[in-house]
Copies of this chain bind each other. A is one copy, B any other.
Amino acid sequence: MLDDRKKKILQAIVEEYIETAEPVSSKSLVEKHGIDYSSATIRNDMAELEKIGLLDKPHTSAGRVPSAQGYRYYVDELLDYNDISVQEIKYIQSQLETKINQIEDLTKIATSTLSEVTHYTSVGIGPNVYSQKIEEVKFILLGSRLLMAVILTEDGLIKETIIKFDEDITQEQVDTLTYLFNNKLKGQPLSQINQPMEEYMHSEMNNILKVVRPVLEQLSKAINEDIPVYMEGANKSFELPEFQSLDIAKNFVNILDADRTKQMIDILDDGENEEEIHVYIGDENVDKALKNFSIITFKHKEKGKDLGTIAIIGPTRMDYSKVISAMKCISKKLGENKICNNKLIGKPENKENSGKDDEDG
């Protein structure tokens, strides 16, 4: 355990470094942070903090810089969760009050709002489709060879995709399809849409198989590929001093581009069971390419339903306090509004009757 003075020193160094990006000297702590000891005393403490691994030294005659562990200690023990101004709170609220029609839109808005408020790069991904359960599948004939499938999940997610056939299909076939799919798939998770269906269909109705197969193919393709990814403020990161280093800048672009989808989802959707906000500092990230970056994720849930994940990616010298405060503010607002419970899929709701919360059951 650190004594109070060491805590104060560590906090001051972290905050000063986050603000200035310059190594922090013992003298500046006395002068700017009101730590009422001589610089020599502070130097002794700094040496010890370095020995424990909470501080680093770029070179002998430079000031100190927080290590990854130092940031970790700061985040776990010293953080201020209210580092957000009234204006910012109001801005967040106004943004999230926009009328939205789909959960994905909400994730998108939250992603850009978060980037606006924090001035960091944010990435939002849609909810984990795989585990969601199917409520209904609708098929709409758009042309004689063109079919649209709309999947509604119990969590209120809507996913549509288009299937093109090589031959004409009839409304009758579509009706059979609708019956079959709903009969078999209702209540099943989307991940189940692959093999078992085909087998089932095979035995069930042989003559409709040529219709079923392309539908299945396209459905699983849509489920696997179409997880929406939103990104905001990639350019903001380039204004940060650490992006003077070409290597870091390159690395960053590589992370965001290319397999950003897969990469991110793999990383972000990892810790399922714990708190809604997670902080991964520097080399705590599984991916080695992220060793100079920190990621803060926020999983948007409502009554246990996964509604998407929003993340901030920035240098390890990140304003953790600000980011986490903003996330908590967004989280609170989302919770208050209840804009994204299953009323979104159009179930009747009694606006004025606030007496009873009609849950399913």
* A residues adjacent to B (C-beta < 8 A): 99-102, 138, 140, 142-146, 148, 150, 152, 158, 160-166, 168, 218, 231, 233-235, 238-239, 243-244, 246, 249-250, 253-254, 256-258, 343-349, 351
Contact = CB atoms under 8 A, between A and B. Distances in A.
24 contacts: A99-B164, A101-B162, A101-B163, A101-B164, A101-B218, A102-B162, A138-B142, A140-B140, A143-B152, A144-B346, A144-B348, A145-B348, A146-B158, A146-B345, A164-B344, A164-B346, A168-B348, A234-B257, A235-B250, A235-B254, A238-B250, A243-B246, A244-B246, A253-B253
Nearest to A250: B238
A62 to B, nearest CB: 23
B150 A148 contact: yes
Given A102-B162, A234-B257, A238-B253, 20 more contacts: A99-B164, A101-B161, A101-B163, A101-B218, A138-B142, A142-B345, A143-B346, A144-B346, A144-B347, A145-B348, A145-B349, A146-B344, A146-B346, A148-B150, A164-B344, A165-B346, A168-B348, A235-B258, A246-B246, A249-B249
Contact of A347 (B102, B143, B148, B158): B143
B257 A235 contact: yes
Contact of A158 (B162, B235, B348, B351): B162
B142 A346 contact: yes
Contacts of A233: 257
A243 B250 CA distance: 9
Taken together, the copies of this chain in the complex come to 2
Contacts of A346: 142-146, 164-165
A134 to B, nearest CB: 13
A135 to B, nearest CB: 9
B253 A145 contact: no
Contacts of A343: 145
Interface centre among A152, A235, A346 (most CB of B within 10 A): A346
Contacts of A160: 148, 160
A179 to B, nearest CB: 17
